[in-house]
């Protein structure tokens, strides 16, 4: 084991990795944003009108009164922007030059779009045999019945059974956060890092094909498996194997409790001032407690909770090693001391404005928690990219126009 001093490197984990980012919205940009935080050079290739999300709400007023998209700033910190019109020969020529210099290309077009723009997979590897090419699409790039369907996050979520339904007669509702975008972005990051590791070992490039639908099936593994095993849907509000489990009211709001192991069950009974319940026969396992929850556990639990505030209840349960949490709204959660202590509340700037958003959850030594840059202005890094990536001088570039 190397000494601890060997873990204090100031080198960002992905320093030197050059990524061409042709993606927009969330699934691709969130992946490449995390790579930018880790020190990769992210070249955001935008069409002449800019990434679609530059025109999406929510907006904040810019320094001259113009509308600046907080949506774009949130997902594109630390990147560099260049405009290329891929519908023109000169735009395609410049993209090919960048592909030749890049380690990674990320796009989240619908299947077939990049091919129609003149860059099928085979051509990309002709230009750069060691390129790692990552696509994030609704249903993947291999042959499948839904390959060419358009998709946003809720399309992938619903198609894969990721939704909330209070009962069989209720209208299925989205789960809330755009997990159909965020979860595939993390799978894309995982695949890219695996491919980069292999490239470091062998020099080989590779293809990372992420389907939002596949990611949602993976996210829903427990419910899908449960349905196949038991022939019925999982009720997310009441665990079939563990109790106490779920959401419970207290004096000033709600908390959640999740008692799973025998030590947690014993600690729970101690915490609520009813240690004798833990000694009763027929309550030693989770399924037994589920069956007898209303009969034995609910009344003493609710009586105890009725005297507690959110923080009092959770602090007490936590003292006895019982998993519990205050149920907070998202704004309250991000402003909490826990979020701030983990550097998860982050101020990001772009186009003359600053917004508060969520930081990077990946912490590696001194990097990723703090390695953040501003979101780029449209085409604002063209000269830098031509000079530093393609090795051109500005005078030569101007003569080419």
Contact 99, 21 (CB under 8 A): no
For the sheet with 245-250, list strands across it: 245-250, 253-258, 324-326
Give one DSSP letter per residue of 269-312, joined into a string: HHHTT-GGGGGSTT-SSHHHHHHTIIIIIHHHHHHHHTT--HHH
How many helices (H) and strands (E) in the chain?
Answer: 17, 13
What does the block give as tokens for 237?
A: 């509000």
Look up residue 167 and give its DSSP letter: S
Of the listed 181, 214, 351, 381, which one is catalytic?
181
What does the block give as tokens for 229?
A: 């095993």
Q: Annotated catalytic, 52?
A: no
Query: Sign of torsion, CA 280 285 288 292?
Result: positive
Give one DSSP letter per residue of 49-69, joined into a string: T--GGGG-S-EEE-TTS-EEE
Look up residue 367 and give its DSSP letter: B
Enumerate the β-bridge partners of residue 156. Answer: none
Q: Which residues are catalytic?
A: 181
């Amino acid at each position: 084991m190397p000494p601890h001093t060997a873990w204090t490197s100031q080198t960002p984990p992905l320093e030197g990795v050059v990524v061409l980012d042709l993606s927009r919205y969330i699934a691709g940009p969130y992946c490449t944003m995390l790579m930018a935080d880790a020190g990769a050079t992210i070249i955001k290739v935008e069409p002449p009108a800019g990434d679609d999300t530059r025109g999406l709400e929510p907006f904040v007023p810019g320094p001259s009164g113009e509308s600046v998209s907080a949506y774009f700033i949130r997902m594109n910190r630390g990147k560099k922007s260049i405009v290329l019109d891929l519908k023109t020969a000169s735009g395609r020529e410049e993209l090919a030059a960048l592909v030749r210099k890049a380690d990674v290309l990320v796009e989240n077009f619908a299947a077939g779009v990049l091919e129609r723009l003149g860059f099928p997979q085979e051509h990309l590897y002709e230009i750069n045999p060691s390129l790692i090419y990552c696509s994030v699409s609704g249903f993947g790039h291999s042959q499948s019945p839904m390959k060419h369907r358009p998709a946003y996050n809720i399309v992938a979520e619903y198609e894969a059974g990721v939704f909330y339904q209070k009962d069989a007669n209720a209208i299925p509702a989205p789960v809330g956060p755009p997990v159909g975008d965020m979860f595939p972005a993390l799978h894309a990051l995982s695949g890219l890092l695996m491919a980069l590791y292999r490239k470091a070992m062998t020099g080989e490039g590779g293809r990372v094909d992420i389907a939002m639908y596949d990611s949602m099936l993976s996210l829903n593994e427990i419910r899908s498996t449960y349905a196949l095993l038991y022939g019925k849907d999982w009720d997310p509000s009441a665990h079939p194997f563990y109790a106490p489990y779920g959401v419970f009211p207290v004096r000033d709001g709600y908390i959640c409790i999740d008692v799973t192991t025998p030590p947690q069950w014993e600690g729970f009974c101690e915490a609520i001032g009813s240690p004798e319940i833990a000694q009763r026969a027929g309550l030693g396992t989770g399924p037994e407690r589920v069956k007898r929850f209303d009969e034995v556990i609910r009344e003493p639990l609710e009586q105890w909770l009725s005297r507690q505030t959110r923080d009092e209840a959770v602090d007490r349960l936590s003292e006895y090693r019982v998993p519990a949490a205050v149920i907070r709204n998202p704004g309250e959660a991000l402003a909490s001391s826990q979020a701030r202590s983990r550097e998860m509340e982050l101020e990001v700037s772009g186009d003359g404005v600053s917004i508060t958003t969520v930081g990077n959850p990946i912490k590696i030594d001194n990097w990723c928690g703090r390695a953040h840059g501003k979101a780029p202005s449209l085409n604002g890094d063209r000269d830098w990219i031509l000079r530093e990536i393609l090795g051109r001088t500005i005078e030569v570039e101007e003569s080419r126009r």
